[in-house]
Amino acid sequence: MSASSKGAHSPPRHLTTREVAQDAQRVLRPGGLYTMNIVDFPPSDFVTSAVRTVQSVFRHVVLISYDEVIGKTTGGNVIVVASDTPINLGDLRASLQARDPSGLLTVADEQRTARFTECATVLTDDFAPVDQLITVPLRYW
């Protein structure tokens, strides 16, 4: 039985690299969006590296999550939204508001996203230690 069929806590490393983001960029239509859902917990080393990796490829990258997750005080899902053309934050926020009955999700603009990834490592096909970066709280073991 493979690790993925056992519910592994770490995503396949080969799906988190700069080369994968470059492949996605290559096939996107002009103005297209690349999105990725990432789950991590403080200290958030994996999610910050995954986002930094996408930033190394696309010109514009923003995040959708809860303030506490973006602030690295709790864990959870982070949605990465990337494009080579500017992302219309007004449209993104309006779409999010229509789909989020809690009203608690937020869109982190490019500046906040850049602060989120300060000092993070870019993951490549030659260097993607995802299993060492991801944090899984003890309660999940």
pLDDT in tens, 103-115: 999 999 999 999 9
- Quickly state the pLDDT bin for 8 (edges 50, 70, 90): low
| Structural domain spans, the chain | 11-121
Q: Which two tokens stand for residue 110?
A: 């490019």
- CATH code for the structural domain at 11-121: 3.40.50.150
pLDDT at 42 over 70: yes
Contact predicate 41/133, CB 8 Å: no
- Quickly state the pLDDT bin for 15 (edges 50, 70, 90): confident
Model pLDDT, residue 137: 74
Q: Which residues of 20-53 are buried (b: 16+ CB within 10 A; e: fewer)?
A: bbeebbeebeeeebbebebebbeebbbbbbbbbb
Model pLDDT, residue 18: 97
Model pLDDT, residue 74: 95
pLDDT in tens, 78-96: 999 999 999 999 999 999 9
